[in-house]
Structure 1
Amino acid sequence: MRSYFTSTGINLNLGRVPIGGCDFSVRGYTYDDHENDTQLTKFNLTWEDYNLKMPLIKWARNLRNQNLKLKAAAWSPPIRMKTNYEFTGSSLLLDQYYQAWAHYHIKFLDAYKENGLEFWAISTGNEPATGIINIPGINSLGWTPQRQRKWIVENLFPSLHASQHSNVKLLLLDDQRLFVPFVLDELMQDESMQKYVDGFAVHWYYDQISPARILNNTHEKYPSKFIISTEASIVTVGPNVNRVRLGDWSNGEEYMANIIEDFTHWVTGWYDWNLALNQEGGPNWVENYVDASVIVNAKNDEFYKQPLFYAIGHFSKFIPEDSVRINIVPNNENGIETVPFTTTYNATAIILFNKGDHNTTISIADPDHGYITLSIPERSFNTLVYW
């Protein structure tokens, strides 16, 4: 926790909280699994909230001595509300539960606020495409753009606006940027969405087949809305493979390259998925194991900070909230990927990633400071800060 949330660590300021259960829970559950409770009168937080989620969030907040930007999302509603009556698999929300599902979100925000925790943002649901194309093993709720737009306009936003949480940001999509040109544009066809939605949340899976110019196009179409990346993890598929690869530098390089790419294409923040997992890549109640920035060996009472952790740390530690990304004219022939910022403490901070297999000498030309010459080691992450 100190490694993540203090200034002697990487000073992380973002946190992602599932509304109820997700695949990385130890069981399938929601906050109201009572069969006939159509009015959510038996809605309650669970053991996981009181003993795991909320204590850790408060601990992180105390370590930082300030609030975190908490973002919440639901994976699945109670199964009685779904067409397939399962936590996972292809499903839609039954029409008679549209308002109840919106009210469920408000009751979650109410319950956390009663326990001293408030959220910066909620999304309209984690990866709705998962419940349409039936990606197995992930808690989900499928939405077509038309059905989700109706639910947001007629149920979710009016409920949020009428509640004590009207200042909470509303994020659309919360899915792969691959779907942005098809799903997001369809959702935004309703003019009222322009005033209801604050930003767009994207995930990084399949980025290799969805070019970053999608983000540029999105910014140009909707310049008043921010874009934020809300999930990334290293997923290794195939039989008999190690999902957790301790010390795998190529994993860290994937994160570093993706964060730089996002931040140079109008993305304003970047959430990792799991802060810590065990040596198997769980727990995960549907065995959807992945790698993580911190791996815990509970038997030996020790943990391992992965290259992923250090890739994130170059940004969270040196680029504080409200820093402004500035333009740079790179030399794309030297193998250095870079993104610069003006920080809130009036410094210039430049992230430099040498993805090549050789040391590289570069010069940075700043009209206010002249030239800075640096030798950047092969396959390395670097941050330059100057005033």
Structure 2
Amino acid sequence: MKLLYITLSISLVCIPVTADRPCAPREFGSGNIVCVCNMTYCDTIAKLSAVPADQFVQYSTSQSGLRFHKTVGSLVDSPHSTGIRFTVNLTATYQRILGFGGAFTDAAGINIDSLALQVKQNLMRSYFSVDGIEFNFGRVPVAGSDFSTHTYTYDDVPGDANFTHYNLTLEDFFYKIPLIKEAQQLSDRRLHLVAGAWTAPPWMKTNDDYSGFGFLKDEYYQTWADYLVKFLDEYKKQGIEFWGISTGNEPINGILPVNRFNSMGWTPHSQRHWIKHHFGPALKKYHCSVKLLALDDQRFMLPWWINILMSDKQVAEYIDGIAVHWYWDTLFPPSLLDRTHNNFPDKFILATEASVGDKPWEFEKVKLGSWSRGESYMEDILEDLNHWVTGWIDWNLALNPQGGPNWARNFVDAAIIVNTSANEFYKQPMFYALGHFAKFLPEGSVRIGLQPQEEKGVLAVAFQTPDNAVIIILYSRSDYDRRVTVTVSDTRHINLDIPKRSFHTVITGKVN
């Protein structure tokens, strides 16, 4: 059996290397640091060339102010005698990575477009270019969401089942489509787009409203399927094709009478019927290469919702993957992901939405430079990846300092906050948490064995990339500096410094 042993700890071998373009920091209270980008400056992180077999590269972000700080070191003959030890097993392989990204909401488009051209380009490069964090996924709402300035669908004329009045809107032509095309042009990676609808037009629903307690009327099951297919058609006419589409955003919200933003309720049984007899056949007939993602809702709905859908073999054939949101992950264990994977190992699990500041008790919706919010992203991504999730898509790519615009006043935080009046934007710790994964885990990377996954407040996950490099991603939530040793073989070791409250990505050379 071929093992790759990895341990992380202090070493004098590490040599600081000047970053490509370092963070321009601005502090909002102790330890709450953003990186400021404007007309003349924005921090960057260069694409890493192949690492020699006898070296490693470490990128570090910390509460004390490091942002993708790069160090290069050599492998040494012996590990440290003390400290945390992680062991990686190359022969134990798990899920294949699809990728990471964010959402092209109306709000994101409005904020990004409010910046001067050079600043806007800096923002888009930060997310999608080779000197940014190289997102390869984009989520696209079908028509409006709460992160729009008003409620709308693509056909709000009551009873228009023939779609005589169906049309894309100004939001598509001014914001979504131009930004998607810019992201595609900037990226060296293929950009995978995932569509999802928040609600059908009110006239198709039992409550005749965009939100609240309401379901799709039985007589409009096929009409709604055709509506979604037509969305894919219309975007294809604009030169944009989708990788996937979900069965609908957060179906549980339409069952909650207190819900205040765009939603449409389903039960798993009614959704199973709709997929089997309407949407599944329509999608297969007209857009057979577009993947169908089920659920698009919270972890606590696993695996029971999926069990009900998959109980019909024909429905199971239509479904390619399972989309999950993060909002109550701290209350529901990741073992629900394991159970879902074990039940349906041929269906990928993809995290498709996350944001902070959404809870009623979180009165400060945007907290500039919040390290704790960056930690919440880092921990959730690590946990998901250690439990069969294949990728992680953030919510809005950019919001304003209020956390909007949002017609329902459902304001939240974002990885990038745009300050239009100053013609600048702020990269939050959440942005760097995302980047520690997105930048270094190309599509096709495979999670490999790692023991333990947590020790003394340091969490870790390991991958092998398509070019056989080994990636270790670590998060220290400890209030103390830690020694960690990464053992590549019995006589080759990587020794690292892990400061308190920090994120790290470690890349070793090619391992055969």
Unpaired segments of 5 or more residues in structure 2? Answer: 1-123
Identical columns (%): 51
Higher strand share: 2
Work out the CA distance in 2 between the residues paired with 1:181 and 1:346. Answer: 33
Deviation at 1:121, TM superposition (A): 0.3
* Counterpart amino acid of residue 126 in structure 2: S
Residue of structure 2 in register with 1:201 after alignment: 323
Give the 4+ runs in structure 1 shifted more than 3 A.
236-240
- Answer yes or no: is the 8 Å Cα contact 2:356–2:412 preserved in 1: yes
Work out the CA distance in 2 between the residues paired with 1:323 and 1:146. Answer: 36
* Counterpart amino acid of residue 374 in structure 2: G
Unpaired segments of 5 or more residues in structure 1? Answer: none
Work out the CA distance in 2 between the residues paired with 1:18 and 1:236. Answer: 18
Count the aligned residue pairs. Answer: 386
- Answer yes or no: is the 8 Å Cα contact 1:175–1:203 preserved in 2: yes
So what's the TM-score if we normalise by structure 1? 0.97
Deviation at 1:236, TM superposition (A): 4.4
Residue of structure 2 in register with 1:157 after alignment: 280
What SS does the aligned partner of 2:324 have? Answer: strand
1:25 aligns with 2:156: no
Deviation at 1:368, TM superposition (A): 7.9
* Counterpart amino acid of residue 56 in structure 1: L
Deviation at 1:240, TM superposition (A): 8.7
Deviation at 1:209, TM superposition (A): 1.7
Deviation at 1:188, TM superposition (A): 1.5
Deviation at 1:370, TM superposition (A): 2.6
Deviation at 1:333, TM superposition (A): 3.2
Residue of structure 2 in register with 1:6 after alignment: 129
Residue of structure 2 in register with 1:130 after alignment: 253
- String of CA shifts for 1:29-84, please: whole Å, max 9, x gaps: 00001113122222110000011000000001101145311000000110000011
* Counterpart amino acid of residue 10 in structure 1: I
- String of CA shifts for 1:174-230, please: whole Å, max 9, x gaps: 000101133221121112122110010000011112110011111111011100100
What SS does the aligned partner of 2:133 have? Answer: coil
Deviation at 1:331, TM superposition (A): 6.7
Work out the CA distance in 1 between the residues paired with 2:491 and 2:369. Answer: 38
Work out the CA distance in 1 between the residues paired with 2:190 and 2:359. Answer: 37
Choose the corresponding residue for 1:245, options 367, 376, 387. 367
1:172 aligns with 2:294: yes
* Counterpart amino acid of residue 272 in structure 1: D
Deviation at 1:239, TM superposition (A): 6.9
* Counterpart amino acid of residue 12 in structure 1: F
Q: Which moved more, 1:325-334 or 1:200-209?
A: 325-334
Residue of structure 1 in register with 2:307 after alignment: 185
* Counterpart amino acid of residue 296 in structure 1: V
Residue of structure 2 in register with 1:349 after alignment: 471
Q: 1:248 to 1:240 in 2, by over 3 A?
A: closer
- Alignment RMSD (CA, Å): 1.3
Residue of structure 1 in register with 2:45 after alignment: none
The residue correspondences of 1:1-387 to structure 2 (distance < 5 A) are: 1-163=124-286, 165-238=287-360, 241-330=363-452, 332-367=454-489, 370-387=492-509
Deviation at 1:345, TM superposition (A): 2.7
Work out the CA distance in 2 between the residues paired with 1:56 and 1:350. Answer: 32
- Answer yes or no: is the 8 Å Cα contact 2:149–2:407 preserved in 1: yes
* Counterpart amino acid of residue 289 in structure 1: F
The structure with higher relative contact order (CA 8 Å, sep 6+) is: 2
So what's the TM-score if we normalise by structure 2? 0.74
